[in-house]
Amino acid sequence: MTDSAAPNPIPHQRRKRYAGKNPRRFEDKYKELSRDPETIAKVIASGKTPVGTHRPIMVAEILKVLSPRPGDFAADCTLGYGGHAQEILAKILPGGRLLGLDTDPVELPKTEARLRAIGFDEKVFPAHRTNFASLPQVLAAKNLAGADLILADLGVSSMQIDDPARGFSVKHNGPLDMRMNPQRSQSAAALLQKIKPAALAEMLVDFSDEPNATTLAPLLAGKSFATTLELAAAVRAALPRLGKEDSDLTVRRVFQALRIAVNDEFSALETFLRNLPACLKPGGRAAILTFHSGEDRRVKKAFDDGFNLGSYSEISREVLQPTSEEQHSNPRSAPAKLRWARRAN
Ligand SMILES: C[S@@+](CC[C@H](N)C(=O)[O-])C[C@H]1O[C@@H](n2cnc3c(N)ncnc32)[C@H](O)[C@@H]1O
């Protein structure tokens, strides 16, 4: 049957009207993409990530270092959209099982439903909402032995960044929240309102190497910012002499530091790294993707220390980075760094 003879399975829907050629608001983009596969392909071809999805990074490199085989038990500690998980599941079946963890109660059920719908049932793909710092407790509670392979792809997913309601976006206005798990802890707005200038200055330096920390801290600490764009505007106003590019970078660094603080990311990572050798079977492999120097430093140190102590028999000597093709086709991959380790027998 030729294409022209094929019946159209998608009933015609009137296209929504937007102010411009393409939808700009998150909700409009979401609706558009949920019914139009052609739009999704076009968005990806233009180097962007369709809203409500996440494009997995360095998939080939991760599969190479983790070398999943049929029958393996894998743990994906940062399930996100499940892109890496799906690729690993395809390699460990038949006989294998992937435990998917994520701290996000908003996105995890969607990912779980998506993977169930394509055939991964509870037996091969148990999913659990938790912080990856608790991996040993989850393994024990589920009566699971050490894993053959463990993946952590740190930071936030595109679904989280792109949804203004989550408060991570430096571009779209939303409540200044930034919690990966909105049921826990305090929002970025609450943190800023309570923090003292000296503590904020220290946080900006420690979490994002912010060179203007001492200027910014007294102007932001103790203040009330309801939305992401209010905070971004205050950062720009505090440093009026910066050019646009430096000003944008400063806003990004302030957001990054707040996100790390709100989600207590470094404590979770350090606990995870400490527990990692014990969560792997002898000979098991771990791969960790990081997106900024604070993460990469911690992973490198933990792997070096583990190697020197004999917990790991082999570790990556050089950091792996996305190919220039991947960076071009998915600019969000550009800062990624991959390190791996193999547990000693
Ligand atoms: C970069 S995304 C992972 C994307 C995923 N690899 C994919 O292919 O779709 C990171 C995910 O890790 C989750 N996450 C970040 N820190 C976490 C932690 N400490 N414990 C559990 N999940 C965490 C985030 O909620 C987010 O969904």
Residue 56 Cα: closest atom of ligand 1: 8
| Pairwise CA distance, residues 43 & 158, whole Å | 14
What pLDDT digit, counting tens, does each position of 66-115 carry?
999 999 999 999 999 999 999 999 999 999 999 999 999 999 999 999 99
Kindly tell me if the per-residue pLDDT of 163 is higher than 90: yes
Residue 289 Cα: closest atom of ligand 1: 1
Kindly tell me if the per-residue pLDDT of 323 is higher than 70: yes
Kindly tell me if the per-residue pLDDT of 14 is higher than 70: no
Whose CA is closest to atom 8 on ligand 1?
83
Q: Which residues pair with 129 in a beta bridge?
A: 102
Kindly tell me if the per-residue pLDDT of 127 is higher than 80: yes
> Three-state DSSP class for 333?
helix
**104 C-alpha to center of ligand 1: Å?**
8
Q: Do residues 289 and 62 lie in contact, with contact meaning Cβ atoms separated by under 8 Å?
A: yes
Q: Which residue has the higher pLDDT, 28 or 1?
A: 28
Residue 268 Cα: closest atom of ligand 1: 19
pLDDT bucket at 20, cuts 50 / 70 / 90: low
What pLDDT digit, counting tens, does each position of 211-229 carry?
999 999 999 999 999 999 9
- CATH for 60-158+265-343, among 3.40.50.720, 3.40.50.150, 3.20.20.80, 3.40.605.10? 3.40.50.150
Q: At what angle do helices 213-220 and 197-208 cross, to 10 degrees?
A: 130
Amino acid 99: pLDDT? 97
Whose CA is closest to atom 9 on ligand 1?
81
Amino acid 90: pLDDT? 97
**68 C-alpha to center of ligand 1: Å?**
20
> Three-state DSSP class for 342?
strand
**156 C-alpha to center of ligand 1: Å?**
6
Amino acid 34: pLDDT? 64
What pLDDT digit, counting tens, does each position of 235-271 carry?
999 999 999 999 999 999 999 999 999 999 999 999 9
Kindly tell me if the per-residue pLDDT of 40 is higher than 80: no
**23 C-alpha to center of ligand 1: Å?**
27
Average pLDDT value for residue range 123-149 = 95
**67 C-alpha to center of ligand 1: Å?**
21
**237 C-alpha to center of ligand 1: Å?**
33
């944008």: which residue's tokens? Answer: 248
Lining ligand 1 with CB less than 6 A are 54, 56, 78, 80-84, 101-104, 107, 131-132, 153, 155-157, 180, 268
Amino acid 284: pLDDT? 98
Question: Side by side, which strands form the sheet with 127-129?
Answer: 127-129, 97-102, 73-76, 147-153, 280-290, 337-343, 312-315
What pLDDT digit, counting tens, does each position of 179-194 carry?
999 998 899 999 999 9
Q: Which residues of 11-20 are buried (b: 16+ CB within 10 A; e: fewer)?
A: eeeeeeeeee
pLDDT bucket at 6, cuts 50 / 70 / 90: very low
Kindly tell me if the per-residue pLDDT of 7 is higher than 60: no
| Cα distance between the two ends of the chain | 57
CA angle 302, 157, 21 (to 5 degrees): 150
- Calculate the CA dihedral of residues 187, 190, 191, 194 and round it to 10 degrees: -170
Amino acid 102: pLDDT? 98
**249 C-alpha to center of ligand 1: Å?**
23
Residue 104 Cα: closest atom of ligand 1: 25
What pLDDT digit, counting tens, does each position of 293-306 carry?
999 999 999 999 99
pLDDT bucket at 30, cuts 50 / 70 / 90: low
Kindly tell me if the per-residue pLDDT of 3 is higher than 60: no
Amino acid 53: pLDDT? 81
> What is the share, in percent, of the chain residues with pLDDT greater than 90?
82
What is the pTM assigned to this prediction? Answer: 0.90
Mean of the per-residue pLDDT values for the chain?
91
Q: Which residues pair with 340 in a beta bridge?
A: 287
Amino acid 80: pLDDT? 98
pLDDT bucket at 4, cuts 50 / 70 / 90: very low
Mutate to test the pocket of ligand 1, among 111, 157, 178, 263 (most ligand atoms within 8 A of CB): 157
**5 C-alpha to center of ligand 1: Å?**
44
| Pairwise CA distance, residues 280 & 219, whole Å | 46
Q: What secondary structure does DSSP assign to 43-94, as a single string?
A: HHHTT---TT----SSHHHHHHHH---TT-EEEES--TTSHHHHHHHHHHTT
Q: Which residues pair with 341 in a beta bridge?
A: 286, 315
